Amino acid sequence: MYNLELRSDTFTKPTPAMLDAMMNAHVGDDVFEEDETTKTLERKCAAMFGYENALLCLSGTMANQIAITAHVKAGDEVICDALSHIYLYEGGGIMANAHASVNLLHGDRGRLSSSQIEDVIKPDNVHYPVSKLVSLENTVNKGGGSIYPIEEIKRIRQLCTDHGMLLHLDGARLFNALVETKESPLDHGALFDSITICLSKGLGAPMGTVLLGNKTFIHQARRIRKRFGGGWRQSGYIAAAGIYALDHHIDRLSEDHRRAKELGKMFSELSMVTDILPIETNIVIISLDPMFLANDIVDQWMRLGLKTSPFGKHQIRLVTHLDFSDDDMDNVRQVLKQFQPR
């Protein structure tokens, strides 16, 4: 029985070398700010993206929610795409944690244009919530790993500055974008008030997301993280995995992208597949002929050891990662060759 794990890039397990780095980490109590390895990771990320400071958080959801909570007041408005993770997959946290309102826009595969945002910014009038924060995602998960063009981000940055709004980036897969565009972390760091970088997706660490921002913001974020129950102790073991991932697992993301494109080709040959979103990074979203239900097909593949995720009634998502090899690609080909949908 195969184990072809394409449900998510979160399934990766630490490599022996990463485990070694974790075992040898120098640790202390991070709530007392005495964990040297955590501080090293935070300084490393801050320097990489040109920020004053950084904060290692347990998960991407926690880091995004801390950022939003720090940026807005109760009753303010967050502007984001309807496909964004902060809205769809964070348990309603924009409301529950930050007590903010959401203005959902419909962009191109999850990417908003500056003019779309400009059209909905509320004037200063007591009737309205205060348009306070714009949040972007790069790459966009629900958009099939689509990359945000940096020229558009620059226009959005200018718009935010002109209107006294803040700009946040959910950069869970930002490195996937940077590997393709060859833009530098500094190019992107210069454009946002805060960024979250996930270490446990394509980079292969077991957990951890780094939140980036200026000193005052990170000080506030540290307080909110503690309130959320996210103050941790010997986090250096996790930070060591993050440092290892940043040093060794960024460039190889392009291999995941190559495999995603090949998978796209393979799946496009199935007669029940009607459409595939453009494949820009490590995510493949296929659409099925409406006579097939995504849940049914995912179940049938699962029984053959081909693990995928339903992503809507007739859509299925596949994600390539560090633990999905060229041999696995061949095995997917074998499974599909014999597959007859029921």
Ligand X SMILES: *Cc1c(COP(=O)(O)O)cnc(C)c1O
* Stretch of 60-68, 127-135, 224-232, 276-284 lying at the interface with ligand X (CB under 6 A): 60-68
CB nearer ligand X, residue 49 or residue 292: 49
Amino acid identity at 232: W
Q: List the one residue from 170, 193, 280, 328 that touches ligand X (CB under 6 A).
A: 170
> Closest Cα partner for 187 from 199, 209, 203, 171?
171
Contact string 141-160 vs ligand X (x = CB under 6 A): x-------------------
> Closest Cα partner for 234 from 17, 25, 19?
25
Quote the longest CA-to-CA distance of the chain.
63
CB nearer ligand X, residue 137 or residue 328: 137
- Residues 249-308 binding ligand X (CB under 6 A) are none
Contact string 103-122 vs ligand X (x = CB under 6 A): --------------------
Q: What distance lies between CA 177 and its chain's CA centroid?
A: 11
Name the E strands within the chain: 4-5, 53-57, 77-81, 101-105, 131-137, 166-171, 194-198, 209-213, 273-276, 283-288, 306-307, 309-310, 315-319
* Stretch of 55-63, 119-127, 247-255, 328-336 lying at the interface with ligand X (CB under 6 A): 55-63
Q: List the one residue from 37, 41, 46, 60 that touches ligand X (CB under 6 A).
A: 60
Residues 204 and 250 sit within 8 Å (Cβ to Cβ) = no
Q: Does 59 bind ligand X (CB under 6 A)?
A: yes
**Cβ 156 to ligand X, closest distance in Å?**
17
CB nearer ligand X, residue 64 or residue 287: 64
- Residues 205-244 binding ligand X (CB under 6 A) are 209
Q: Does 101 bind ligand X (CB under 6 A)?
A: no
Q: List the one residue from 37, 38, 61, 281 that touches ligand X (CB under 6 A).
A: 61
Q: Does 137 bind ligand X (CB under 6 A)?
A: yes
Q: What whole-number distance in Å separates Cα of residue 198 and Cα of residue 61?
A: 10
b (16+ CB within 10 A) / e for 120-143: ebeeeeeeebbbbbbbbbbbbbbb
Question: What does DSSP assign to residue 287?
Answer: E
Q: What whole-number distance in Å separates Cα of residue 338 and Cα of residue 297?
A: 14
* Stretch of 56-64, 117-125, 212-220, 222-230 lying at the interface with ligand X (CB under 6 A): 56-64
> 55: exposed, middle or buried (C-beta count within 10 Å: 0-12, 13-18, 19+)?
buried
Q: Does 172 bind ligand X (CB under 6 A)?
A: yes
Question: Total binding residues for ligand X by CB under 6 A?
Answer: 12
What residues make contact with ligand X under the rule CB under 6 A?
A: 59-61, 64, 85, 137, 141, 170, 172, 198, 201, 209
